[in-house]
Chain A
Amino acid sequence: MSAAKPQGKARNMIEAINDAHRVMMRQDPDVVVYGEDAGYFGGVFRATAGLQQEFGKTRCFDAPISEGGIVGTAVGMAAYGLKPVIEIQFADYIYPGYDQIVSEVAKMRYRTAGEWTMPMVIRTPYGGGIFGGQTHSQSPEALFTHVAGLKVVVPSNPHDAKGLLIAAIEDPDPVIFFEPKRIYNGPFDGHHDRPVTPWAKHAKSAVPDGHYTVELGKAEVVRAGNNLTVLAYGTMVHVALAAVEENGVDAEVIDLRTLLPVDVEAIEASVKKTGRCLVVQEATRTGGYGAELAALVQERCFYHLEAPVERVTGWDTPYPHAYEWIYFPGPIRMKTALKKVMEA
């Protein structure tokens, strides 16, 4: 939307995330950061680079390859009073820590009636389009949006990544912070045969120095429109924006930013205005978060709808390495869906 000229230094997503850590570690001595390769080297994606050098190795350190151990010790640290910000190297590897996240992190406040709380952030790069094969490409957000007690956040640009991560670290509840690694270096429009423009050329790469937050639970209308509401998050925000332009649809594109709790007001207001809704997710289709969105829209906007809610998703297969661009919900699937929802 036509906002004031963005202030701040151009940064890519990694730099923005790195900066968020630095801001919070300077501000709050209880913030500790750890994960596999996260200390000395600063993480395989370099998101924690320089933190150990600046804050010492008891505040930023390498963890054993044990996601259960990483999350499990973070529970103890949070119980002590620290604020762990932990990195799971790839979202595909979060499963060994899943029990700790679902049974412990998410439930602690409730099961102890508030006696113990779990303020922590679990950061993890997710998503495909990087030829990562099935164990470096998955989008498991629905496994976490189904869990009471968690908050689930997915930024789609450097500005939001920093502001959301700071908000997540400051939040009294545990936040799973999914980082769309396909857009770490630049917004990806789904055209894999075209070069990716680096973030530096994008307005949302203007990342202010120092402390600022992007409120959790608030979506952003990233493109105003009248005839269709497109709900997207992460990498798919950019794929959706590109597809809307390419197909000449007067669509409103909403970047959800927080999946749990989702900004239902923003969704409702837009769909009631446009009368049509397309939900876009990169994850496998069945039981995905897009199904939740479609249900919400159907429950709340049924009498305003002029067409069934349409979904664009990955296929219900494991992520196929060689067929990545057949799997990825890109321009073709977007075009088909846009046509279908607009002509219904």
Chain B
Amino acid sequence: MDGPTHSRPNRPALALHVPEPKYRPGDTPDFSGLAIPAAGEAPRPDVAAPDEETFALCNSLVRVLDDSGKAVGPWDPRLSPDTLRKVLRDMKTVRVFDDRMYRAQRQGKTSFYMKCTGEEAIAVAAAAAMDPEDMHFPTYRQQGLLVARGYPLAKMMCQIYSNAGDPLQGRQLPIMYSDRAHGFFSISGNLGTQYPQAVGWAMASAIKGDSRIAMGWIGDGATAEGDFHSALTFATVYQAPVILAVVNNQWAISSFSGIAGAEQATFAARAIGYGTAGLRVDGNDALAVYAAVAWAAERARTNRGPTLIEFFTYRAEGHSTSDDPTGYRPKDEPGAWPLGDPIARLKAHLIGLGEWDDERDSALDSEIDAAVRSAQKEAEKIGILSDQGFDDIPSMFEDVYATTPWHLAEQRDASLTEAREYLGRDSE
């Protein structure tokens, strides 16, 4: 077909805008055009301030750590050195854990893994700012919540290996953890579903006159799902005690954030349309993350309603073990990201305070490395993915319902017959 099909002579042909990232493989990334306000610049509204007072912050960036690692401005949460060291340790643990499990996947010990490299500050500092009884409705990049809340690393690995130590009995993809006791809701493979669920949990807490709050998590790409919008509607309509976090790591697999609408407005600015409080936060700055979550948590706890927080960050590695990011973005883009490495930034801060040094840092690294290795050994003793699937076949038919109905009982028996007769395997 040549030319437009319905053009009228006096009118310009319409053109579709398809957003494109600034840089593709082979280009030299340059983020100097990115508007990054100086640390300490963003004002900090009173926790009791009306929602509108946050609207300017939706287009700015809450930052605490400056380039030299000094904490500046009204958002400085003034954490104790012990808390800072704990956050640093948790972030480092997440990174080491990610590396080991990434390698385990490459070694064929499991099917899949997802890292959060470069984003460690977000989940770890958020966990530090919330109460242990508060409930999180996470996505797959918040392993830091479990680590920070002291969930056993070996148990996380058992989940990844789907082995007999997996509390989920091998029913979920690796990294789709769930742990009620650690305030960590079951991760779904269907993006966005957890967002209204977080709001519902928070509504229930309010209905019962409880004091616990909830936090929902979503990626920039998944904000395009209807669930994002229904969650914001419910959260604002009922003023639910919930924090809704958007982790904007610039990429949704190979689609840049512009494909989810980032060219026209920040993700934090979505809050303005709902009339709810919103903050845009440097996600590579553990102190800013902590301060923002603590602020939003206090609002929620005092019946001042929900807060939408965009954590502005960068996914330094591939989307998952199934992804090769060099196919869609410049190889050196992660290095060019101007907000730095959250671990290095917090370390510099602690050193600046005189509360840390390189010696202690490398001692901590070895300690964490040993702990992760030993957890891995422990988990692999129980088994890796390829060994699984025969030791308790009937369990496959459990938990579909509270009690097993006739059709599942029949199918269970048939599967056992199959395993016995055709595979020469038996359960029990």
**Footprint of B on A, CB under 8 Å?**
32, 58-59, 63-64, 66, 68-69, 72-77, 79-82, 84, 96, 99-100, 103-104, 108-117, 148-149, 151, 171-173, 217, 261, 264
Most chain B CB inside 10 Å of its own CB: which residue of A32, A80, A103: A80
A116 in complex: contacting residue of B186, B203, B204, CB < 8 Å = B186
Count contacts on B: residues with CB < 8 A to the other chain: 48
B residues 353-412 touching A (CB-CB < 8 Å): 398-402, 405-407
Residues of B within 8 Å of A264, CB to CB, are 406-407
**Residues in A neighbouring B398, C-beta threshold 8 A:** 114
Supposing A72-B227, A112-B178 touch, asked if A151 and B401 sit within 8 A by C-beta, the answer is yes
Cβ–Cβ < 8 Å partners of A79 in chain B: 135, 185, 197, 200-201
Q: Closest Cβ of chain B: how far from A61's Cβ, in Å?
A: 8
| Contact B196–A100 (Cβ < 8 Å) | yes
Q: Please state if B196 and A115 are interface contacts (CB–CB under 8 Å).
A: no
- B216: min CB distance to chain A, Å: 9
A161 → chain B, closest Cβ, in Å?
Answer: 22
Please determine whether A82 and B178 come into contact, CB atoms closer than 8 angstroms: no
Instruction: Report the nearest B residue to A216, measured CB to CB.
Output: B405
B234 interface neighbour in A69, A80, A103, A112, Cβ under 8 Å: A69
Contacts A76-B197, A80-B205, A112-B171 known; list 5 others, CB within 8 Å. Answer: A68-B227, A110-B400, A111-B178, A114-B399, A115-B168
Given contacts A68-B196, A72-B230, A99-B193, contact A111 B201 (CB under 8 A): no
Q: How far is the CB of A193 from chain B (nearest CB, A)?
A: 41
Name 30 interchain pairs, CB-CB below 8 A, sorted by A.
A32-B204, A64-B230, A69-B196, A69-B233, A72-B196, A73-B197, A76-B197, A76-B200, A76-B202, A76-B214, A79-B200, A80-B201, A80-B208, A82-B207, A103-B189, A104-B188, A109-B401, A111-B168, A111-B186, A112-B172, A112-B178, A112-B186, A113-B169, A114-B398, A116-B185, A117-B402, A149-B400, A151-B401, A172-B402, A217-B405
A64 touching B237 by the CB < 8 A rule? yes
Given A72-B196, A76-B204, A81-B204, A115 and B167 contact (CB-CB distance below 8 Å): yes
Contact B203 A99 (CB under 8 A): no
Give, as a whole number of angstroms, the nearest-CB distance from B106 to chain A: 26
* Cβ-neighbour of A148 out of B189, B198, B231, B400 (below 8 A): B400
Contact B201 A104, beta carbon cutoff 8 Å:
no
Nearest CB of chain B from residue A37's CB, rounded to whole Å:
14
B195 in contact (CB, < 8 A): yes
B360 to chain A, nearest CB (A): 38
Q: Complex Cα distance A100/B195, Å?
A: 11
From B167, B178, B179, B195, A72 is in contact (CB under 8 Å) with B195
Cα distance, A116 to B202, chains bound together (Å): 16
B190 within 8 Å of A (CB atoms):
yes
Q: Find B399's partner among A58, A77, A113, A261 (CB 8 Å cutoff).
A: A113
A32 CA / B401 CA spacing, docked (Å):
22
Tell me the complex Cα distance, A58–B207, Å. Answer: 6
